[in-house]
Amino acid sequence: MAIEKTTILVFGGSFDPPHSAHISMLEEAVTLIKPERVIIALTWLSPFKKEHFASFSQRRELLSIALKKCSFADICYISDFEFKRRKKTYTWQFIKHLKNKYPNSEIFFLMGSDSFVSLDKWRKSEYIKKSCKLIVAIRKGFVPKKSGALFLNKMYPPDSSTEFRERALFCDFSLLHSKVAKKIKKHGLYFADLACAMKENMSEKRFLHVANTALLSMRLAKSHGIDIKKAVISALLHDCAKELPFKKQVSLSLKLFPESLVRKISDMAPLAIHQFASAALARRKFGICDKQILKAIAWHSIGEKNPSKLGKLLFICDFASYDRRHESAKKVREIAFSSIEKAYTKF
Ligand SMILES: [Fe+2]
Ligand SMILES: [Fe+2]
């Protein structure tokens, strides 16, 4: 007697964080193939990334929340295969694991068209194609030839996790399930806590400048291999004391810097005193103890003699943030994406 095959739908990714497009893709694929099981292959560390913004456990928690109300919640589970391995895992390894665990199954592998167009570059892509039926969700900007897979009908955004992380700097959580957004804010993931604290504590114009500085800083840090966390934190906090009264800025500065230096700057360049005050406030109110971050904030306005790469980055991003419309800002932004050093020498 022939044993009926179990249909399994697999969807892999970093889910950093899980967002509404992920869930829509899954819903559409489930409607199409009506699987008996849906397995989420949550990556420990994506082969395409150095690190994730949230830990495996945090991403798993967010995924569980996002999946809870889905139509297929009762047949869906998040695999802990990569969590147990605790190392970079390739898709073919996960598929092989599933084939061993469910020998009598038909596996459908859901992927975005951005991944599908580069599938031939993946490790053991032939094995993946032979072992699974591919289902492709078309993402804007990545419209492939419609062959070699099943294609979903809807059009999806290009990379919503990146877009979400950038929007979070502006306290925009609209791409997420409300309970996922709530958890992210509660745990301060994706810099949501700092960004929202800035929004609450400064004028709208200043906050837009701060968020735009952080956005440029995040993008440049990513493209130059600079510590993204330090880059974004220093950018979000760099003007945190700028709207305080001058006297308050001076008194704050004196908490962290020598009196002679504070007096000298407040006499010679009073507008620049906010750089010391912001560093002091970043430490006292926001608990930032990292010396590199504090130093970058402390000299972001007038620059320092021997700045670190982080210091140069913040200086550039403050000058050339996306809210600055002047031509020289655009020019510096352009140069900065090819070289931080070259952009810095423009000053
Ligand atoms: Fe500033
Ligand atoms: Fe600024």
At residue 251's C-alpha, the angle toward residues 250 and 254, to 5°, is 85
Q: How far is the CA of 325 from the centre of ligand 1 (A)?
A: 17
**What is the CA(192)–ligand 2 centre distance, in A?**
19
Residues 163-208: tens digit of each pLDDT: 889 999 999 998 888 999 999 999 999 999 999 999 999 999 999 9
Q: How far is the CA of 302 from the centre of ligand 1 (A)?
A: 9
Distance 270 CA to ligand 1 centre (A): 12
Q: Give the pLDDT confidence of 327-343 residue by residue, as tens digits.
A: 999 999 999 999 999 99
pLDDT in tens, 226-245: 999 999 999 999 999 999 99
Determine the distance separating the centroid of ligand 1 and the alpha carbon of 260, expressed in angstroms. 21
Give residue 83's pLDDT: 82
Q: What is the pLDDT of residues 74-84, one digit of tens each?
A: 999 999 888 88
Q: Which ligand is nearest to the CA of 210?
A: 2
Whether 255 has a pLDDT exceeding 80, the answer reads yes
pLDDT at 47: 64
